[in-house]
Amino acid sequence: MSFAFASNLFHAIALEAHSLGKGVLAGDEIAAKLASGSGDLAARLKAVLTDPAGQRSVFASLRAFAPNIATDKTFVTAYPCDGSVIVTLTADVREVLDRQDDFEVVYEPRMRKITGGPNFFLGMQDGAEYQLNASIMRLAAQRGDVVDIVVPKARDAARRIVAAHPHEIDLPQVLTTVVPALMVREYFGVDTASVPDLVEWTTAMFWYLFADLQGDPVVESKALDYAGRCLSAIDAAIARLDANPGGPVTVLKRAAALRDAGAGGFGGAGIRNNMIGLVIGAIPTISKACVQALDVLLDHPDMLAQAQAAAARGDEKAVGAILFEALRFNPVNPVIYRRATRDCEIASGTTRACQVKKGAMVFASNLSAMFDAAVVDDPDAFRTDRPWDIYILWGYGLHRCFGDAINRAIIPALMTPLLAGAPLARADGAAGRPDAETPFPQHFTVVR
């Protein structure tokens, strides 16, 4: 989700909470910040909400005073909906994402525009078609590949890149988008597109599908143009594979073998339509995760030092524990949204039970859930000994990220060579902060 969109959404949420008159914004650090700011309430809220700490404060207040808010206001125009519900506690976030029949994914129309017809499994409700497509892709992209193929390649590429930039590195430009784009070329098998093209195409398509909730026609036309080019590149890679079936194992190669063996879901344009969904998900997300995790660590010098010490001894597991805890404070997407398919209720039988109207967009905040003291010990502390199941960094339930195992391994693998050298610091001025021009940081320079 775009940072800009997220702050607009949080702004609307905070105003709504304020208008409910439940004291939601009183008596905590937000109130202090609001009191000391200049301009009207809306302007001051916007200022508070432009950083993740402000967003965490809003959610802390909501969890305490109004954990589930339903309003007639509609914050999303890109997907049809009517009204909004904001859900902040872990149990309720999980409940929304577990109740497939009551809360549906909305992405189908845009998925169809991207492929020029068929849906992709993230845009499908649970059922035979979802299960078939997700399962055949699991046969093509196997779990063991992460250790055998993805991590060694990412580690080597990151080492080479970091060695070539010993003193100063603009992460999204040379490292954090490049390594996942190389994964798309060399492991997925889409080697008919260049790294810069893959980065540009996937960033625009991801923006359109998940972050452009106000339906900007410029975002759509760019995404659809790039979708056409990306589909052609995938078709060309399949044609090349069919003409010359040798070479290393790739996801595409396995998909072609499954197609030849008559596996359902891979006939006709099945391979390319399943493949483009994976390609779109892989590059801007991994890059943004790396950027945001390091950005958080630079504000926690003790944790950064621990991460650098772990990297120096080549301990990717320890590096990962620190990076994922950092991401808890600023995850790539702070909310996951679903549309209610019928009038229903969440958190039934509790004091926070909330009526949800058919058509309402339900924003389940995974950021908030990861700070819920009912589930997370000492949530405001930065700790690296947390159980993995408290993290909701890339979805939860049926649609939890297909790249889950890849993300857990590739993020530490590509960041360890960077962290392993001399102490890192932000570059001076704006260059040393992730830019917020687009939903995905394009620049973030660190020095040593």
Instruction: Enumerate binding residues for ligand HEM (CB under 6 A).
Output: 105, 121-122, 134, 277-278, 281-282, 285-286, 289, 332-333, 336, 394-395, 399, 401-403, 406-407
Nearer to ligand HEM, 359 or 395 (CB): 395
Q: How far is the CB of 406 from ligand HEM (least distance, A)?
A: 5
Q: Is the CB of 18 or the CB of 399 nearer to ligand HEM?
A: 399
**Whose CA is closest to 234, among 209, 201, 196, 283?**
201
The Cα 33–Cα 49 span in angstroms is 11
Dihedral over alpha carbons 117, 121, 125, 131 (to 10 degrees): 120
Please name which of 310, 368, 361, 283 lies closest in space to residue 52, comparing C-alpha atoms: 368
> Least separation, in Å, of the C-beta of 362 and ligand HEM?
11
Closest distance between ligand HEM and the C-beta of residue 70, in Å? 20
Q: How far is the CB of 446 from ligand HEM (least distance, A)?
A: 19
Cα(82)–Cα(17) distance, integer angstroms: 18
- When CB distances to ligand HEM are compared, the closest residue is 403
Give the distance between the most distant pair of CA atoms in the chain.
Answer: 68
What are 97's two structure tokens? 């994402």
- DSSP-derived letter for residue 156 is H
Measured CA to CA, the distance from residue 288 to residue 110 in angstroms comes to: 22
Question: CB count, 10 Å around CB of 93?
Answer: 27
Q: Which residue has the tokens 């020095």?
A: 447
Rounded Cα distance between 23 and 280, Å, is 42
- Minimum CB separation from ligand HEM for residue 392, in Å? 8
Judge whether 188 and 279 are in contact, CB under 8 Å.
yes
- In whole angstroms, how close is the CB of 373 to ligand HEM at the nearest point? 23
